Structure 1
Amino acid sequence: MTKKSANVHFQNRERRGSQSSLPDMNGATRSQSRSSGAKSPTRNSNGTFRRYPDKQDRERPGVDRTDTSASGWATENEEDDEKLKQSEFEKKKQTFITRAIWTLVMIAIFFGSMFAGHIYVIIIVTAVQIISFKEVIAISNVPSRARSLRFTKTLNWYFLGSTMYFLYGESVIYYFKHIVLIDRVLLPFATHHRFISFMLYVMGFVFFVGSLQKGHYKFQFTQFAWTHMALYLIVVQAHFIMNNIFEGMIWFFLPVMLVITNDIFAYICGITFGRTQLIKLSPKKTVEGFVGAWICTIAIGFLLTNILMRSKYFICPVNDLGANILTGLQCEPNPVFLPHTYTLPFIPATYTLLPHKISVCPMQFHILIMSTFASLIAPFGGFFASGLKRTFNIKDFGDSIPGHGGMTDRMDCQFIMGFFAFMYYQSFIAVYKASVGSVLEIAITSLSAEEQREVVKGLAKHLYNQGEVGMKVLEFLAENMGGQVRRR
């Protein structure tokens, strides 16, 4: 009999055996064996039967070798599940490695820029707000491309540029009056800054109205409102973070670290003893983690404050953009950084063993408030971002940071915390006194040219009387500005 007929004969025998339900090697019928997913036995070269193909058959393409009976051997589905688990494990491992590497990169960039100088921190904050604005706007820009609407994306970036011009200009004029107001080129921009900013916005507004297309009014006005919401929530709040840098590095560093500390300890406390769900927008957030992180953030805040108060580089306002951690800054410290003596009213005078007075810096009381805000209020910025992502059915705002998602995912709590730090500093900590910039601003904007000359001559006479300038200065002023020199 030829090989072909042998094969036919084998198939017929197998079919007859299946129909007669002969018992298989495990005691079950062949029909039951097949119904459980097992293959039919195959013939060896000597005519005997075996359950699996030999090595050559296993290596032969197209031979299915993974299905078995229910006797305990691995099935094809089980092997697929195992491969899927391995694939998921490798994916999680790779994600963890990528996330860890980029976490170290971000830490290095953060501390490197902070120690290098204020100008580098300003550059980082500017980049963060631009990237965050881009990510938020990108959520609503997809439909605009599908509808082929003109100028939608261009208008978004125009409003960003005009808003940043207004906000950055306000900061530069406020903190660097003594430079801007005496420069011939910058003086007109400084004195008319707000009007110029307003006209820039009006030009964008007119351009938007002119770009409205019939049939898309509702969508375009929605985009207009979305752009302004992004400008307020990201660009405006980032502007106050910028002002914190000018007021002193500590007012930038502390709020950032308080939010990071609270986030870390909320995770640790949550997985350790968290049981009660805090809010439905973030199912993994627990009440126990929320409260535990609050306590830990207060403790870390006290420790960081004690360390940072000892460095004038952190507590001094910016008076030199070229300064760094090595050169440092010089200033008269704010009173909140100086020890004050407080009497404890709840200890009776008869108790001599207990202290009745303590010496502590007022900043320690202020950090208590800031830590509480970072723990109890700032996380709602993250909850807001979670609700926004759920609205658009997205996991992350973008992929700007490998392994971490978008920049907005990392900054959702930082914006509101920086805004609060600025408002709190201006309301309860800042010391308002006359500065060179403020005096120059009043003289330039409020006095005539003749009055300004009188101020200069009066200051020159005062300095001469104090021995700060010589007689030649008075003579020079008298020759070039008019008037007579009067010796004391």
Structure 2
Amino acid sequence: MARKVQFQHKTNGNGNATKKRTGSSSSNESVSNPGSPVRSKNEKMNGSIPEQPAQTQNEYEKKKQTFITRSIWTLAMIGGFFLAMFSGHIYILFLITAIQIISYKEVVNIAQVPQKQKNLPLTRSLNWYFLGITMYFLYGESVIYYFKHILLVDKVLLPFATHHRFISFMMYIFGFVFFVASLKKGHYKFQFTQFAWTHMALYFIVVQAHFMMNNVFEGMIWMFLPSSLVITNDIFAYICGITFGRTQLIKISPKKTVEGFVGAWICTIAFGFVMTNILMKYKYFICPVTDLGANIWTGLDCTPNPVFIAHPYQLPAWTGFSRTFWIAPIQGHIMVFATFASLIAPFGGFFASGLKRTFNIKDFGDSIPGHGGMTDRMDCQFIMGLFSYMYYQSFIAVYKTSVGSVIESAIVGLTIEEQIEVVKGLSKYLYNQGALTEKSLSALTSALPRR
């Protein structure tokens, strides 16, 4: 005798009778509540093994494996970062470059439509072309600014250095013209969306990450300290949130709480004070880059920025305490850095969360096993790096004439004859200071052409 099968989503007026008729059917056995008499009786009669424990075991093993993978890659990333930082500035620059490229690839990929790309094979090539041009422009600006005393005296590199911006602009214009020429009827919306999406990714990732590289040139501390503040804030936001978090902070990220937000802020400030006091003792961290071959063992040498020099501070008389404290200005600035890392930088993460929800994805990619994509780990770091550079240039940097600036002014603003006179004048000055011998001065003077 055939038995009737009742689908769960269908109901009728005899719902109760239907449930009684189908209560012992095999279709309902699979959806019976755990521990129900019907299910237990049938399992004993059929000798079947309950599925719930097996599912629980599989889920536990999956979470365990994910935790192990995540932990291993966390330690690997931390170890790799410190290895690069101690090995020298050039390795950190390579690391930032790799992060730029991977993050850009992840963000651009989430807006791709493979079916349309088959008909527009040059779309992806244009994405990478604009990335290359942007990196050429930004890297060139940094290299010319920090190493102009090397580039401007080289016969081959001089034209590229003096005309760098025009060359970059024309290369971009070439890409723009190529994009317009490649527009195809029926695909206009997709192509213009890709064009806008590419430029958004360039701004939010490549441009912001570029300023992290400039921070490295100004001194390792200006890259390492802001990055560590963001990481510390993220850790303590999680700890404080699960400990006493009650009030939801923002709807786009439901797990974030006001209590965790404020608690992490306080902890990040305390961490910033401690870490700053440690880093400011080592010139390798506080000195600007003068030798890309330097590392933690060779070190760097410079006159420290006044922000790292402690000054006496006397407590006001009304406090009733007569005590003097030695405080470096950086300890005041670090409160601003920690506050930004705690209250503003997380919105970079919220922005990324909104972006992922828009495209209905969990992670930007799978570049880092157990962690998702590179962008998932760097979303707050990019905006923090940009802030650090702007704040440093506005309130901390000491502007003075550099060798590169003098050479640039002489090359750009003086004729060849005037440049020769400058060399002669400097030669006489160095001779009077004892830096040149009379023989060297005579040889130099006679070798230079006369006006």
- TM-score, normalising length: structure 1: 0.83
Counterpart code for 1:380: F
Counterpart code for 2:132: G
Deviations 1:113-152 (A, max 9, x none): 0000000000000000000000000011235645621310
- In the TM superposition, 1:240-259 aligns within 5 A as 240-259=211-230
**Aligned: 1:225 with 2:192:** no
Match of 2:331 in 1: 364
From 91, 114, 117, the equivalent of 1:120 is 91
- In the TM superposition, 1:269-308 aligns within 5 A as 269-308=240-279
From 322, 341, 358, the equivalent of 1:354 is 322
Deviations 1:204-263 (A, max 9, x none): 000000100011112211110000000000000011000000000000000110000000
- The answer to whether the 8 A contact 1:244-1:251 is kept is yes
CA displacement at 1:197 relative to structure 2: 0.3
CA displacement at 1:177 relative to structure 2: 1.1
- The answer to whether the 8 A contact 2:239-2:260 is kept is yes
Q: 1: distance between equivalents of 2:376 and 2:445?
A: 64
- In the TM superposition, 1:38-187 aligns within 5 A as 69=38, 74=43, 79-143=50-114, 145=116, 148-187=119-158
Distance change (3 Å), C-alpha of 1:208 and 1:146: closer
CA displacement at 1:397 relative to structure 2: 0.2
Match of 1:330 in 2: 301
Deviations 1:278-324 (A, max 9, x none): 00111000000000000000000000000000000000000011111
CA displacement at 1:474 relative to structure 2: 2.2
Question: Between Structure 1 and Structure 2, whose CA radius of gyration is higher?
Answer: 1
Counterpart code for 2:90: I
Higher relative contact order (CA 8 A, sep 6+): 2
Q: 2: distance between equivalents of 1:35 and 1:195?
A: 79
- TM-score, normalising length: structure 2: 0.90
Distance change (3 Å), C-alpha of 1:462 and 1:277: same
1:278 is paired with a residue whose SS is: strand
2:222 is paired with a residue whose SS is: helix
Match of 1:205 in 2: 176
Percent of aligned positions with the same letter in both sequences? 70
Q: 2: distance between equivalents of 1:266 and 1:78?
A: 43
Structure 2: stretches of 5+ with no match in the other structure: 2-19, 27-35
Q: 1: distance between equivalents of 2:283 and 2:126?
A: 43
Q: 2: distance between equivalents of 1:70 and 1:135?
A: 48
- The answer to whether the 8 A contact 1:68-1:74 is kept is no
From 420, 426, 430, the equivalent of 2:393 is 426
Match of 2:286 in 1: 315
CA displacement at 1:35 relative to structure 2: 4.9
Counterpart code for 2:318: P
**Aligned: 1:234 with 2:184:** no
Q: 2: distance between equivalents of 1:294 and 1:402?
A: 29
Match of 1:42 in 2: none
**Deviates further, 157-166 or 334-343:** 334-343
Counterpart code for 2:307: V
Counterpart code for 1:180: L
- The answer to whether the 8 A contact 2:117-2:123 is kept is no
- The answer to whether the 8 A contact 1:33-1:69 is kept is no
Match of 1:21 in 2: none
CA displacement at 1:79 relative to structure 2: 1.7
Q: 2: distance between equivalents of 1:426 and 1:335?
A: 14
CA displacement at 1:81 relative to structure 2: 2.2
CA displacement at 1:354 relative to structure 2: 3.5
Deviations 1:360-404 (A, max 9, x none): 000000000000000000000000000000000000000000000
Q: 2: distance between equivalents of 1:382 and 1:222?
A: 23
Q: 2: distance between equivalents of 1:129 and 1:135?
A: 10
Q: 2: distance between equivalents of 1:99 and 1:237?
A: 27
Match of 2:431 in 1: 464
Distance change (3 Å), C-alpha of 1:72 and 1:301: farther
**Aligned: 1:191 with 2:162:** yes
- The answer to whether the 8 A contact 1:269-1:293 is kept is yes
Q: 1: distance between equivalents of 2:168 and 2:436?
A: 42
Match of 2:31 in 1: none
Counterpart code for 1:295: I
Q: May I ask how many residue pairs the two structures share in their alignment?
A: 422
Structure 1: stretches of 5+ with no match in the other structure: 1-10, 12-31, 39-66
Q: 2: distance between equivalents of 1:33 and 1:142?
A: 50
Counterpart code for 1:390: R
1:285 is paired with a residue whose SS is: strand
Match of 1:214 in 2: 185
1:283 is paired with a residue whose SS is: strand
Q: 1: distance between equivalents of 2:25 and 2:193?
A: 57
Q: 1: distance between equivalents of 2:115 and 2:397?
A: 46
- In the TM superposition, 1:405-444 aligns within 5 A as 405-444=372-411
From 433, 448, 451, the equivalent of 1:481 is 448
Q: 2: distance between equivalents of 1:117 and 1:215?
A: 51
Q: 1: distance between equivalents of 2:42 and 2:281?
A: 70
Match of 2:10 in 1: none
- The answer to whether the 8 A contact 1:155-1:204 is kept is yes
Counterpart code for 1:470: T
Distance change (3 Å), C-alpha of 1:78 and 1:284: farther
Q: 1: distance between equivalents of 2:89 and 2:114?
A: 40
Distance change (3 Å), C-alpha of 1:36 and 1:415: same
Counterpart code for 1:97: I
